[in-house]
Amino acid sequence: MAKVIVWNLMTLEGFFEGREKWDLGFHEDAWGEELSDLSKEFGRKAGLLVFGRVTYEGMKAYWTTAAEEEGEIKAFMNALPKLVASRSLTASDWNNTTVTADIAGEIARHKALPGKDIYVFGSAELTESLLAAGLVDEIMIAVAPVTIGQGTPLFKPGEEKRRFALIAARPLANGTVILHYGVKRAG
C-alpha cells in the first residue's frame, strides 16, 4: 500500500509563498546540494505526483521549459504520473497527467494499490483537504532560515487540532531544517 507524503518548503513564520501567488524567492535560502539530492530521491521513490490546480499550473509552466541543468529532477517531473485536483480543469496536455474533481476518491484508490509512494508537492489547500479526509500519512517540511513578513500560510487556521509524530529532523548545512512527521490518526 502506497503512502501519501506531503512535501513543502516554508519560512520560519510558516509561509509557503510570499504576498503574491508563486512568490517563492525564499526557496533560494533553502536550496543547495542537499535539497537537490533530496529532490532526486523523491523522483526515485515516487509513483505518483499530486498537485492542486494552482500548483499544477506553476509546475507545468516551469518543468516543461526548465533548463537542461535541471537534468534528473526535470526528467522525473515530466515523466512520472501526475494527478491534479481541479473543479475547473477537465484535461491536461502535460505528460502523464490526469485531472480529477474527486481527488479524495482518486487518492484513496491509488493508496490501496501496491507500489511506490504518492507525493503531494505544494498545494496548501489540497493538503488541508487531504488531511481532513484522513488521507495523508506523512508530512515533510523544509523550514528555510528566513522570514518574509507576509504570505500564505502552509497550514490554515481551523477548529480541529491535529497531532503529528516526529520521524526525523535533519539540519542542512545552509541552516534549513527538514522536519519529517507521521500523521497521527484521530481517536
Question: Given this model, what pLDDT does residue 137 score?
Answer: 97
In this prediction, residue 123 carries a pLDDT of 85
Residue with cell 541552516: 175
pLDDT at residue 158 in the model: 75
Enter the C-alpha cell of residue 73: 529532477
C-alpha–C-alpha distance, residues 64 and 160, integer Å: 38
Contact 43, 60 (CB under 8 A): no
Radius of gyration of the chain (CA): 16
**pLDDT score recorded for residue 130:** 95
CA distance 144 to 26: 7
Pick the CATH number of 7-183 from 3.20.20.80, 3.40.430.10, 3.40.50.2000, 1.10.101.10: 3.40.430.10
**Could you give the CA distance from residue 77 to residue 79 in angstroms, rounded to a whole number?**
6
CA 150 – CA 105 distance, rounded (Å)? 34
DSSP structure class, residue 21: T
Amino acid 159: pLDDT: 67
- pLDDT score at 21: 86
Low-confidence ranges of the chain (pLDDT < 70): 69, 159, 186-187
Query: What is the rounded distance in angstroms from the CA atom of residue 131 to the CA atom of residue 27?
Result: 24
pLDDT at 167: 97
Three cell numbers written together for 59: 509546475
| Per-residue cell: 95 | 505528460
Q: How many CB atoms lie within 10 A of CB 185?
A: 9
Q: Of 29, 17, 90, 21, whose CA–CA distance to 61 is shortest? A: 21
Residue 186 pLDDT: 66
